[in-house]
Amino acid sequence: MSSINLAVLLVLGLLLVTAQQSMQMSLRNPTAEIETSNCKIAFLRLGLVFTSDNNEKALLDSGLYEPDSENPSVDIAGRRFHIGTLNNSLIIYVKTGSHSVNVATAVQILLLRFRTSGIIFFGSSGSLDEKMLVPGDVAVPKAVAFTGVWEWKKFRSEEGKLVFGDFNYPENGENLLGTVEYETINMFSPNEAPKKVFWLPITTSWYNAATKALKDLKLRQCYSDECLPGKPKVVFGSKGSTSDFYVRNKAYGDFLNDNFNATTADTASASVALTSLSNEKLFVVFEGVSNVAGKTSSDSGVSYLASYNAFLAATKFINSIPTPRLACE
């Protein structure tokens, strides 16, 4: 056999082995091609999560987001994950849709399929305390909770009297808000029992970083021809409540505020928190206030300003975090 033919066979063999390895990699992980073909994607560090079209509009309208030129997005399990930069910071973002199950599913996929060090959530919420938060403001909570989870007391009757938590009346009733149980594996204490908690704490280091980064942040006051009556502000240290229904009833909003000191209500933040904590990932929440519970819903202009101001806060935070850059060869 000539040396030329031998060289050709060696090259063909090498190509065959490479092709087999590539096929195996793609079968194991649908995102493998994206993660290996572009070094920026392989080392994405920050996941940006939001729920609505209005949130995505704020992101795109800003002009700060630049999709990756080679791999701008990837579809996994009915969700589209967008890859690019936000004001030169490497991110991957996903629009989850509303309600806790959709949010948790999208965040879990993001954490499992992509190399992210943490999750930044921004979105809209309703104010439960008008003295603290009004439409256009941005809340940066220290903790969030599922306040739509109820543990119903058992039906029972005594001497002909029907008792079902006294008909769920807050002042005298017996129906209690449930707690959320999440399991994590503590590498240093593997025998530790699962934690049972009500409030899900925001990552302390990221919360502290946000307080510094957003200290002098200027929020947007006007959109089109409509302006907020006052200058919007960032409020730190609040508590947020999450449920799968919108809190429009003032009495229920007052109940959440009076009994749990919750100042905002939304349909997503606790899902982000629970999923991030379960995966031992850093996370932080930025909520733009779009309305006040018990009052007439805000119009589209105010709702957009709430999303945009929350986006501004998230962007300022993202740009304040040092992220390693990978030098592509």
pLDDT of 11 reads 43
Q: Of 86, 83, 136, nearest to 110 (Cα)? A: 83
- pLDDT one-digit tens code per residue, 277-290: 999 999 999 999 99
- pLDDT one-digit tens code per residue, 210-255: 999 999 999 999 998 889 999 999 999 999 999 988 888 888 899 8
Mean pLDDT of 192-208: 87
pLDDT-derived band at 117 (thresholds 50, 70, 90) equals confident
The C-alpha atoms of residue 44 and residue 35 are separated, in whole angstroms, by 9
pLDDT-derived band at 192 (thresholds 50, 70, 90) equals low
- pLDDT one-digit tens code per residue, 41-88: 445 579 999 999 999 999 999 999 999 999 999 999 999 999 999 999
User: What are the φ and ψ backbone dihedral angles of 200, each rounded to 5 degrees?
Assistant: -100, 115
- Mean of per-residue pLDDT scores for the chain: 81
Task: Judge whether 132 and 296 are in contact, CB under 8 Å.
Answer: no
Mean pLDDT of 16-25: 40
- pLDDT one-digit tens code per residue, 135-168: 999 999 999 999 887 665 555 545 555 454 444 4
The C-alpha atoms of residue 329 and residue 314 are separated, in whole angstroms, by 31
pLDDT of 171 reads 54
Q: For the ranges 27-31, 32-36, 301-305, which has the lowest average pLDDT?
A: 27-31
Q: Is 51 left (phi over 0), alpha (psi -120 to 50) or beta?
A: alpha
pLDDT of 298 reads 65
Give the strand pairing for 118-127 and 226-227.
Answer: unpaired
pLDDT of 16 reads 44
Dump strand ranges (E) for the chain.
46-50, 65-67, 73-76, 79-86, 89-95, 118-127, 138-146, 150-151, 156-158, 161-163, 176-177, 180-182, 195-197, 200-201, 222-223, 226-227, 234-242, 264-266, 282-292
Q: Residues of the chain with pLDDT > 90: what percent?
A: 59
Mean pLDDT of 170-180: 54
- What letter would DSSP give residue 198? S
More confident residue, 182 or 208: 208
Is pLDDT above 90 for 302? yes
More confident residue, 42 or 271: 271
